[in-house]
Structure 1
Amino acid sequence: MPREITVFGALMPTLMLVLIVAFIVQIGIDWLMSHLHLYRYVWHPGLFRVALFFCIFSSCGLLLHAV
């Protein structure tokens, strides 16, 4: 797996793209959980959102760089 990719002539680390993808996935999961009213079962929704983002980001990054 390449460490950097070229975007419009600028080198970007691949983890930057993983960060963007994880953010989009987290927005989708957050929207789904709020529409299903699942945040009423969570003690601290803000902390849960941050932890969910880091879980998604780290798992995608590990999957990407482990291959």
Structure 2
Amino acid sequence: MPIDFEVGGVYLPPIAQALLLAMPLLFALLWLLQRLGVMQRVWHPALFEGALYSCICALIILFMGS
């Protein structure tokens, strides 16, 4: 079971931890996809980035639960 963190008097529930952890992973993955040329083939980059962020968050939450 995920634990709750308190940082500087601010309570971070597990969902907020997953959302914060997903941001650097998203940026690294987008950088890699840009370097490989995948982003030039994407029809709508903003929708793709949002969907990718959702998938990364979902995977983190699944791994946190186990």
Runs of 4+ in 1 over 6 A off after TM superposition: none
Q: Is the 8 A contact 2:15 2:61 kept in 1?
A: yes
Query: Where in structure 2 are the equivalents of 1:27-38 lying within 5 Å?
Result: 27-38=27-38
TM-score, normalised relative to structure 1: 0.82
Deviations along 1:18-60, one digit per CA (max 9) or x if unpaired, are 1111111000011111122211221111111100000000111
The match for 2:16 is 16
Q: Is the 8 A contact 2:19 2:57 kept in 1?
A: yes
Distance of 2:54 and 2:61 partners within structure 1: 10
Report % sequence identity. Answer: 32
The match for 1:46 is 46
Which blocks of at least 5 consecutive residues in structure 1 are unaligned? none
Distance of 1:63 and 1:13 partners within structure 2: 15
RMSD: 1.5
State the SS of the aligned residue for 1:6: strand
TM-score, normalised relative to structure 2: 0.83
- Using the TM superposition, give the Cα deviation of residue 2 of structure 1 relative to its aligned residue in structure 2, in angstroms: 4.2
The count of residues paired between Structure 1 and Structure 2 equals 66
